Amino acid sequence: MGKRCHPGLTTARDLIIARLDTLRSLVPNVRAHDPDGIHDMRVASRRLRAVLREYRAFLPPKPRKLLQKRARLITRGLSAARELDVTLQRIAELRTEVPAPDHPALDDLTGQLKTERENENAATARSADTIESNAFGRAANALVENASAPKTCRISAARRSLRRHMRRLRARYRLWSRSQQDADLHTVRVALKTLRYACESYDSLYGDPMLKFIDKLKKVQTALGEWNDFRILRDYARKTNAPASPSMNNLYETLQRKVEHLQSEFASTAEDFFSKSTRNHFRELLHTPQTPCCDAQTATINKTP
């Protein structure tokens, strides 16, 4: 292929600049310990990492790897705080569902988790520091300024990458279907996120069909996210330092039933997403880009699912 993918280069630069702008705009909210700001920055860091991965053919290796490493540190620095924020929110919601005699267990958990959450403020501040650091800014500037158009069209690259992400997701789903283990279902959740952020990196290429697919993916992800929230809360209840008590035992049993119910709901929701028809629809979507690119008319269409 003689042509270089200049449309893809423009998209890569635009996406990286937009992701960086989002991260920087969220720094004040994170420094204020705002739960929504922490969540939004964590998502923004994952979206930046996805663009760096998906458009790596356009990007100079050294600054890309440096920025990818820094973005990963931002994600990790926010992870524990986000998990605790969500868990405390779920505890607050449970007060209307759990009988009053079991509220002491909720109080014990709330006290312990608030202490843990305060201890994470330093980590969230470091994530904000990373974004405002000179090293981060230099790597970002070098990445954008030195990006170049490869000979491989982004349509071909997108098709290969998204098929690979979908295959991995389906493989992990099959593993969980056989094992029914929490650890395996968690890997499904991670693979769903990876596929979603990769799809978002190419939504301008595939247009409304991709946006509709992402909406479908989000529904499955949301169902699994709720399961994960209560799984984490259940595990906190199991390992709490509070003395064993009837209220804590009752709370644990309540959470275990809720986790099982949410897992069953996810299984029902997932049947359609992991069906053969959805698989075929996704394959067709990848072969029908809505936006022309450098070789949109000549790229070889690989029919392999």
Q: Distance between CA 280 and CA 304 in Å, rounded?
A: 10
Is the separation of the CB atoms in 231 and 259 below 8 Å?
yes
State pLDDT tens for residues 279-296: 999 999 999 999 888 754
Distance from chain centroid for Cα 266: 17
Check residue 240 and give its pLDDT. Answer: 77
* Residue 11 included in any domain: yes
The residue segments making up the domain with residue 86 are 6-286
Q: How far apart are the first and last CA of the chain?
A: 24
Domain count within the chain: 1
Check residue 203 and give its pLDDT. Answer: 95
Q: Which of 295, 15, 305, 18 is nearest to 157 (CA)?
A: 295
Fill in the DSSP letter of residue 58: G
Is the separation of the CB atoms in 115 and 245 below 8 Å?
no
* Residue 79 included in any domain: yes
Check residue 1 and give its pLDDT. Answer: 45
* Residue 101 included in any domain: yes
The whole-model pTM stands at 0.91
* Residue 1 included in any domain: no
Identify the segments of the chain with pLDDT beneath 70.
1-2, 241-244, 295-305
Residue with tokens 């979206």: 47
* Residue 199 included in any domain: yes
State pLDDT tens for residues 101-111: 889 999 999 99
Phi-psi region of 83 (alpha: psi -120 to 50; beta: other; left: phi over 0): alpha
Q: What is the CATH number of the domain that holds 255?
A: 1.40.20.10
* Residue 176 included in any domain: yes
Check residue 292 and give its pLDDT. Answer: 84
Tokens (6 digits) for 48: 């930046």
Q: For residue 171, which amino acid is it?
A: A
* Residue 148 included in any domain: yes
Check residue 298 and give its pLDDT. Answer: 40
* Residue 229 included in any domain: yes
Q: Distance between CA 28 and CA 279 in Å, rounded?
A: 42
Please list, in sequence order, all residues whose beta carbon lies within 8 angstroms of the beta carbon of residue 112, skipping any fewer than 6 positions away. 236, 240, 241, 242
Fill in the DSSP letter of residue 59: S
Check residue 293 and give its pLDDT. Answer: 83
Check residue 241 and give its pLDDT. Answer: 56
